[in-house]
Amino acid sequence: MADLLVYSEKTQAACELAAKGREFAQALGLGVSAAALGEGAAAAAAELGAAGADRVFVSEDPALEGWPADSVAVALAQIAAEADAKVVLLGSTRRGKELAGRLAEKLGAGAVTDVNGLELEGGEFVAARYAFAGATVAREKVAGDVKVFAVMPKTFSSEGATAGAGTVVTPALELATGMKVVERRAKEGDAVSLDAAPRIVGVGRGFATREDLSLGDQLAEALEGVVGCTKSLADFQWLGEDRIIGLSGAKTAPDLYLSVGISGQVQHTVGVSSAKLIAAINKDKDAPIFQMADYGIVGDLYEVVPAVVERLKVV
């Protein structure tokens, strides 16, 4: 039976794709296969089955350690052949985007990355993604029989997913590639996972100096949250790229997003539009962020933030 194939090196993102993939597959009379590759693959298999995969192709081959795009593309091309998959859904993570083109080339497919909406219209997939720096949304179809879509994490939800059979398959992969890993080094700087954070304090250019960001840290600490930022602050190298929220960074879905000194340009807000509650502190009452905020304080962050932190300490 032909399958729809899903894969992401991030298990949660792969589960979201398996859950939604199951809906698509049912509409098209297909099964759902998932690939779990590299370290932790065996452990991820059960989650993928629970999220909707009928078959989970599992490989912890050392060549897949660290998910190098070229080896993963070779593996996925072989798995797609075994699953007779004409549609592949990938997570549009940094690695996933690199992978999409490589896999599409091997499958003779068309690929769309950064997809933030995917639906079936008359049996055809239509992918949505931001265009013109987030000013508009392009809706795109892939011509040809084989299609690869890299979908941004959290576009779909795996909550309440219908489980698939979750049968584990061990594929016989041939993973010889031209690449040789000579060394692995941990990334410098602090690591943060904005994708999964329940509370995020977003900081922007309203902060006059890098040192002043300690105010944002205090606020995040009082809220038991993490700090994310606009691209501007990462461009200044005040914070690492991992902290960027928006078109060029993380797409988040926290319970609370509290923006401080952020104007609210669309390239930033696309990364927080799924937040359950948005609050904003900005001294300009006409700042666009207030148009999407559930709560707002018009005021100088240098006065408001210390007062909010004090109040939170009391609560």
Ligand X SMILES: Cc1cc2nc3c(=O)[nH]c(=O)nc-3n(C[C@H](O)[C@H](O)[C@H](O)COP(=O)(O)OP(=O)(O)OC[C@H]3O[C@@H](n4cnc5c(N)ncnc54)[C@H](O)[C@@H]3O)c2cc1C
In this structure, are strands 136-140 and 124-131 parallel, antiparallel, or unpaired?
Answer: antiparallel
Helix (H) or strand (E) holding 15: helix 11-28
**Any contact of residue 246 with ligand X (CB under 6 A)?**
yes
Binding mask 88-127 for ligand X (x = CB under 6 A): ----------------------------------------
In terms of Cα–Cα distance, which of 141, 122, 138, 118 is closest to 130?
A: 138
Of 8, 93, 116, 282, the one binding ligand X by CB under 6 A: 282
Of 92 and 282, nearer to ligand X (C-beta) is 282
**Any contact of residue 205 with ligand X (CB under 6 A)?**
yes
**Any contact of residue 249 with ligand X (CB under 6 A)?**
yes
Evaluate whether 262 touches 278 at the Cβ level (below 8 Å).
no
In terms of Cα–Cα distance, which of 76, 58, 1, 7 is closest to 31?
A: 1
Q: How far is CA 212 from CA 215, 234, 305, 313, in A?
A: 6, 15, 11, 20
Query: Half-sphere exposure (CA, 13 Å, Cβ side) for 14?
Result: 25
Q: Least Å distance between CB 210 and ligand X?
A: 13
Only segment of 4-12, 105-113, 178-186, 198-206 that touches ligand X (CB under 6 A): 198-206
**Any contact of residue 248 with ligand X (CB under 6 A)?**
yes
In terms of Cα–Cα distance, which of 102, 94, 96 is closest to 77?
A: 102
Of 106 and 283, nearer to ligand X (C-beta) is 283
**Any contact of residue 8 with ligand X (CB under 6 A)?**
no
Residues in the chain: 315
d(CA 57, CA 261): 46
**Any contact of residue 77 with ligand X (CB under 6 A)?**
no
In this structure, are strands 31-37 and 3-7 parallel, antiparallel, or unpaired?
Answer: parallel
**Any contact of residue 273 with ligand X (CB under 6 A)?**
no
**Any contact of residue 59 with ligand X (CB under 6 A)?**
no
Of 80 and 197, nearer to ligand X (C-beta) is 197
Of 26 and 232, nearer to ligand X (C-beta) is 232
**Any contact of residue 152 with ligand X (CB under 6 A)?**
no
d(CA 236, CA 250): 18
Q: Least Å distance between CB 240 and ligand X?
A: 13
Of 284, 291, 294, 295, the one binding ligand X by CB under 6 A: 284
Residues that bind ligand X (CB under 6 A): 133, 204-206, 230-232, 244-249, 261-263, 265, 267-268, 281-284, 287, 300-302
